[in-house]
Amino acid sequence: MPHTNRRVFLRQYREGLPLLEDFGIEESEIAEVPAGHAVVKVDTLSMDAWIRTTLTPGSFHETAGLGTTIRALGVGQVVESADPALAVGDWVYGMLAAQTHALVPAASLTKLDLSNSLKPADYVGPLGLTTGLTAWAGLVAVAEVKAQDTVLVSGAAGAVGSMVVMLAKARGSRVIGIAGGPAKCQYLTEKLGADIAIDYKNADLAAEVAAAAPAGIDVFFDNVGGEILDVALANLAPADARIAICGAISQYSDLGNVRGPKNYLKLAERNAMMKGFVVTHYAARFPEAKAEIAGLMQEGKLDLPEHAVEGIDNFAEALLLLFAGGHTGNLLVRP
């Protein structure tokens, strides 16, 4: 049977941050489902910083073609299937994109395990590839966090940053979160349990980090880059500090002029390590990550707050909200 799909597409490219006028919305009919494909009614989409890098030609993620549906990971329920691996009613995760109904190859979808009281939206949140699993991979697999480490997190009030704060606290670390504005700092300490929150918009960042970590930073989880990365480099522990480079949202609006760290020589001076990572490189450890995160959720020790935007027509507004840092926790769109 036909399915009406409403989608958000890229109308035009723009240097710098996109504007609402760069996106369009249209409806179409999915009249036929080819063999090996399924139609998924999209339930929840994850608003991730990497989406920004698909909107500019020459970026390090695949550039979206003009007229194509904006890429986004999400969860949804199968409403029609032409593949024996998926049945109507199955919940799945994958690249569903900014639309209400996704016609996608069944092989590109992951069937969700909803046992142990897990919800579909958990797979674009605490157990999501670009959220919880990314946080775990950077903190545990890359930075090898230990109990009693002093952990500094930039972009700490966002989805990945929030997960890093909670995972580090659960593993016995002392956590310093960096965020913008008093409300976000209050969120970090009162909701997530960070030991110290630093408001980079209203403080001397270098002085505040130095005061918060007088013995130095053992682990820095970086989501922002730019000046904050330089401050972290200047305040590393005397030996064996680890920096995990997850992202650099401060640089995504001008990828042709990315600012590198001026203080990188501190890595040699402090016998430190800085490593970038791609979460899928650690896929072999996903079962370990999911078991730890799900266990903490069931024990009531990990609860990732959601900021949900309703309606696919508001997808572009939600994306701009992400770039402006106008949310706390996990930013989602529910079509």
In a domain, 27, yes or no: yes
How many domains does the chain fold into? 2
Convert the pLDDT of each residue in 237-269 to its tens digit: 999 999 999 986 555 555 566 677 899 999 999
CATH number for the domain that contains residue 242? 3.40.50.720
> Both tokens of residue 43?
């339930």
Separation CA 315–CA 321 (nearest Å) = 10
Please give the average per-residue pLDDT across 14-23, as a whole number. 89
Higher pLDDT: 225 or 232? It is 232
Burial, 23: exposed, middle or buried (Cβ in 10 Å; 0-12, 13-18, 19+)? buried
Convert the pLDDT of each residue in 175-226 to its tens digit: 999 999 999 999 999 999 999 999 999 989 999 999 999 999 999 999 988 8
Which amino acid is residue 98, in one-letter code? A
For residues 249 and 316, membership in a common domain is answered with no
pLDDT band at 60 (very low <50, low <70, confident <90, very high): low
Reported pTM: 0.91
DSSP 36-85: TEEEEEEEEEE--GGGGGGSSTT-SSPPPPTTSBPP--EEEEEEEESSTT
For residues 46 and 179, membership in a common domain is answered with no
Structural domain boundaries enclosing 111? 3-125+304-334
Convert the pLDDT of each residue in 263-302 to its tens digit: 999 999 999 999 999 999 999 999 999 999 999 999 999 9
DSSP code at position 81? E
Instruction: For strands 74-81 and 91-94, give the pairing.
Output: antiparallel
In a domain, 113, yes or no: yes
Tokens 């979808």, located at residue = 109
Checking if the pLDDT of 36 tops 90, the result is yes
Separation CA 274–CA 55 (nearest Å) = 28
Query: How large a percentage of the chain has pLDDT more than 90?
Result: 83
CATH number for the domain that contains residue 46? 3.90.180.10
